[in-house]
Homo-oligomer: A and B are copies of this chain.
Amino acid sequence: MNTSTSTQRLGAAKQPMTISELRADYLAGKQTPESLIADIHARAAEVSHYNIWIHLLTNSEIQIYLDALQHKPIETHPLWGIPFAIKDNIDLAHIPTTAGCEAFAYTPTQSAKVVQQLIDAGAIPVGKTNLDQFATGLNGTRSPIGPCHNSFDPAYVSGGSSSGSSVAVGLGLATFSLGTDTAGSGRVPACFNNLIGLKPSVGLLSATGMVPACRSLDCMTVFAYNTDDANTVLSVAEGFDLTDGYSRANPYSNQTRQYGLRSGPLKVGIIPKEQLNFFGSDAYEKAYFDTINTLSSNGFELIEIDYAPFDEAAKLLYEGPWVTERYLAAQPIIDEQPEQVFPVVRQIIEQGSQPKATDLFSAEYRLHDLKQVCYAQLNALDCLLTPTAGRHFTIEEMLAEPILHNSQLGYYTNFMNLLDMASIAVPTQFTADGMPFGITLVGAALSDRALLSIANRVQQTFPLPTGAFNCPQPALTQSNVADSRVINVMVCG
């Protein structure tokens, strides 16, 4: 199944691509942003059949960003010369935003607020990436330009809907990328491409300039090689936005200085065996139990929770009235030019015109009740830990059962935004076939840095190479942090 060793993988980076390593190379004069972009363009051409990009920026389109670096000292610009990819439902000024649907496309005059902040900090946009159309999917095959192929084995799905953003980072065509996440779109592709997938608390990153899927639930996400990079990107990207109705201020306890290596014993919730589901994948089942056994020997006290209320909340997302938000987001195309919408996406979104307000209020009441029960469990823990996905499907398998297998991919992810929780997908294993597997850590809203600090510890427990190319991780942050919630109570109490 695994076609080659990582170093020989087509299109993959042949050099370290993390933020700290690129900055060191720049400062040492070993490389320039121009030379890096040229290398990325050359490698992108080798893998054009992976369907990573909807629009790869040309040299002339990229030049303004390179030129701007002349006026930005690297010392004060944490993302100086760092290439990043943008899911094509997020605006980059003067480049069309398609959401994977040509008929929907528009060309924004301004970048999304988050994109602009990254650019201001020195980051270089490389291109707009493929996605499951209107971010409706978790698998990466639901695009008119063709399925996005996995960075480890092109026969496998990339995961979606942030498919291109994950594979671009997986192959080292970008150091990090922006995705979006409503049902798991920022986490499932991270798992399938050996990446960190940071799904921040809803509202921590501005949604201004982002095409909504479910506007009340969506958030922008970050794919990166490690938690240090994810924290650096988050620190630049975050910020309250008065013009985003769902934006919210970040409290002291969740600011960037709270990131580090979470030390000491941890109470971590896990799903009881009978509530786990691997959909027939022995490889993922084995990888999961290997992972939790290793963590259990490394200070993670594993405590079984009741997953039923989480699962019930998850089912509300596609089976309940929230699909109406997708319908609103895809108007007027879905009403006036339905033939322009990818068939399986259309089939899902069209249902969204039906629910009544009574359905939505009833579902919201139930969701609030479930949230109390889920949070009561979560509040007794440092975090919850789940497999990120139960099985990794091939593209052929996915296309044979596009609704069923997609919903299986969301088994562990669909509840997160409805329950207003933060989560981080962390790679932990390769299967015997050399395919990546990972877990997701789940925490309360605005516990992002606490989660990232635990994810850092998980990542240091499982030393893996970066993405789909055979570079080892650089040294990650060692500075210990304890539970910030405890500190705050002690100081204030």
How far is A328 from B362 in the complex, measured between Cα atoms in Å?
8
Chain B residues within an 8 Å CB radius of A358: 324, 327-328, 352-353
- Tell whether A216 is near chain B: CB-to-CB under 8 Å: yes
Chain B residues within an 8 Å CB radius of A325: 361
Chain A count of residues within 8 A CB distance of the other chain: 37
Chain A, residues 149-178, CB within 8 Å of chain B (1/0): the string is: 000000000000000000000000000000
Stretch at the interface among A191-199, A238-246, A383-391: A238-246
Chain B residues within an 8 Å CB radius of A324: 356-358, 361
- Tell whether A303 is near chain B: CB-to-CB under 8 Å: no
Are the CB atoms of A252 and B493 closer together than 8 Å?
yes
Shortest Cβ gap from A242 to chain B (Å): 5
Instruction: Give A132-152 interface residues, CB cut-off 8 Å to B.
Output: none
- Tell whether A486 is near chain B: CB-to-CB under 8 Å: no
- Tell whether A301 is near chain B: CB-to-CB under 8 Å: no
CB-CB under 8 A for A321 and B252, given A369-B245, A492-B492: no
- Tell whether A404 is near chain B: CB-to-CB under 8 Å: no
Interface centre among A327, A359, A365, A493 (most CB of B within 10 A): A365
Are the CB atoms of A245 and B353 closer together than 8 Å?
no
How far is A290 from B38 in the complex, measured between Cα atoms in Å?
73
Chain B residues within an 8 Å CB radius of A376: 242
- Tell whether A23 is near chain B: CB-to-CB under 8 Å: no
Chain B residues within an 8 Å CB radius of A373: 242
Chain B residues within an 8 Å CB radius of A371: 245
Are the CB atoms of B365 and A252 closer together than 8 Å?
no
- Tell whether A346 is near chain B: CB-to-CB under 8 Å: no
Instruction: Give A104-142 interface residues, CB cut-off 8 Å to B.
Output: none
- Tell whether A267 is near chain B: CB-to-CB under 8 Å: no
How far is A493 from B251 in the complex, measured between Cα atoms in Å?
11
Instruction: Give A317-337 interface residues, CB cut-off 8 Å to B.
Output: 321, 324-325, 327-328
How far is A352 from B353 in the complex, measured between Cα atoms in Å?
18
- Tell whether A372 is near chain B: CB-to-CB under 8 Å: yes
Closest to A215 in B: B365
CB-CB under 8 A for A361 and B245, given A355-B356, A493-B252: no
Closest to A487 in B: B492
Q: Which of B359, B361, B488 contacts A215 (CB 8 A)?
A: B361
Interface centre among A247, A327, A356 (most CB of B within 10 A): A356
7 contacts between A and B (CB under 8 A): A216-B368, A245-B372, A324-B361, A328-B358, A352-B357, A353-B356, A360-B361
Q: Knowing that A242-B372, A360-B361 are A-B contacts, what are 15 other residue pairs whose CB atoms are under 8 Å apart, sorted by A's residue number?
A: A216-B365, A244-B372, A245-B367, A245-B372, A246-B368, A247-B372, A324-B356, A324-B357, A328-B358, A328-B361, A328-B362, A353-B356, A356-B356, A360-B360, A488-B492
